[in-house]
């Protein structure tokens, strides 16, 4: 695996502008994208240097190309992926969410499933690139429409451990430091700008 060369995207930066408390929506044609506490600030890219701006851009594009509305929230009181994703699902009008950790680990969740279950899990963050994020967005939107898409193919790389395991642990610890206990999820407006 190689880190994507981000020449075309390196100048894009992501700001998550706080809009207000994240509320449960009633429109059934939406997917909530729930990001973890350190997403976009202080971290700016995934474990393999995919810029967070690109991650959000691709996920939103994947959702919108299915004609579904997307809403982004930031979860503050946990960095546990299942909890982040399930928080999003409970606020989502369709009951479908995408949970995202700063290092890139992702999950598609549904409100009615137990928290530790999920619709699709992408545990190996080093193997997630722009294309996979777009497909995750697209699949989540299809679930929101009540369809049953074929799961996004998961990849496996036995050499991911020697290369990434320790960095993943480090990123996990750093993300934990950004948790604000008791703070409720916040709706944010993703602003992607060119630096």
**Strand stretches in the chain, DSSP E:** 12-21, 30-35, 69-74, 96-100, 106-110, 120-122, 186-194
Cα–Cα separations (whole angstroms), residue 20 to 72, 74, 121, 130, 187: 12, 11, 29, 29, 6
Do 20 and 184 form a contact (C-beta atoms < 8 A)? Answer: no
**Residue 173 engages other proteins in binding (rule: CB under 8 A):** yes
Q: Tell me whether residue 147 or residue 157 sits nearer to other proteins (CB atom).
A: 157
The CA distance from 156 to 126, in Å, is 10
Beta carbon of residue 160, minimum distance to other proteins (angstroms, whole number): 9
**Residue 19 engages other proteins in binding (rule: CB under 8 A):** no
The CA distance from 139 to 160, in Å, is 25
Question: How far from the centroid of its chain's Cα atoms is residue 90's Cα?
Answer: 15
Q: Assign 3-state DSSP to the chain and report helix, strand, coil percentages, each to 5.
A: 30, 25, 45
Task: Identify which range of 19-27, 67-75, 155-163, 181-189 contacts other proteins by CB under 8 A.
Answer: 155-163
Task: Identify which range of 5-13, 34-42, 135-143, 151-159 contacts other proteins by CB under 8 A.
Answer: 151-159
**Residue 159 engages other proteins in binding (rule: CB under 8 A):** yes
Q: Tell me whether residue 69 or residue 172 sits nearer to other proteins (CB atom).
A: 172
Task: Identify which range of 14-22, 57-65, 168-176, 186-194 contacts other proteins by CB under 8 A.
Answer: 168-176
**Residue 5 engages other proteins in binding (rule: CB under 8 A):** no
Do 160 and 1 form a contact (C-beta atoms < 8 A)? Answer: yes
Beta strand 120-122 with 30-35 is unpaired
Task: Identify which range of 19-27, 52-60, 97-105, 152-160 contacts other proteins by CB under 8 A.
Answer: 152-160
Residue from 11, 42, 147, 169 that binds other proteins (CB under 8 A)? 169
The CA distance from 11 to 53, in Å, is 10
Beta carbon of residue 97, minimum distance to other proteins (angstroms, whole number): 23
**Residue 166 engages other proteins in binding (rule: CB under 8 A):** yes
Beta carbon of residue 177, minimum distance to other proteins (angstroms, whole number): 9
Binding footprint of other proteins on the chain (CB under 8 A): 156, 158-159, 161-170, 172-173, 176
């Amino acid at each position: 695996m190689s880190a994507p060369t981000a020449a075309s995207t390196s100048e894009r930066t992501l700001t998550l502008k706080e809009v207000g408390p994240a509320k449960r929506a009633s429109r059934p044609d939406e997917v909530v994208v729930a990001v973890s506490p350190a997403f976009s600030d202080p971290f700016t890219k995934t474990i393999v240097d995919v810029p967070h701006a690109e991650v959000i851009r691709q996920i939103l594009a994947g959702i919108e190309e299915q004609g579904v509305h997307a809403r982004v929230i930031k979860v503050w009181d946990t960095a546990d992926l299942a909890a982040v994703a399930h928080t999003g699902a409970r606020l989502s009008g369709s009951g479908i969410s995408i949970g995202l950790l700063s290092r890139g680990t992702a999950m598609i969740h549904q409100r009615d499933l137990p928290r530790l279950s999920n619709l699709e899990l992408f545990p190996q963050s080093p193997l997630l690139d722009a294309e996979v994020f777009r497909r995750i967005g697209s699949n989540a939107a299809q679930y929101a429409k009540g369809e049953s898409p074929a799961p996004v193919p998961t990849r496996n790389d036995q050499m991911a451990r020697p290369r990434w395991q320790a960095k993943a642990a480090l990123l996990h610890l750093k993300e934990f430091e950004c948790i604000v206990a008791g703070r409720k999820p916040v709706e944010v407006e993703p602003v992607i700008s060119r630096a």
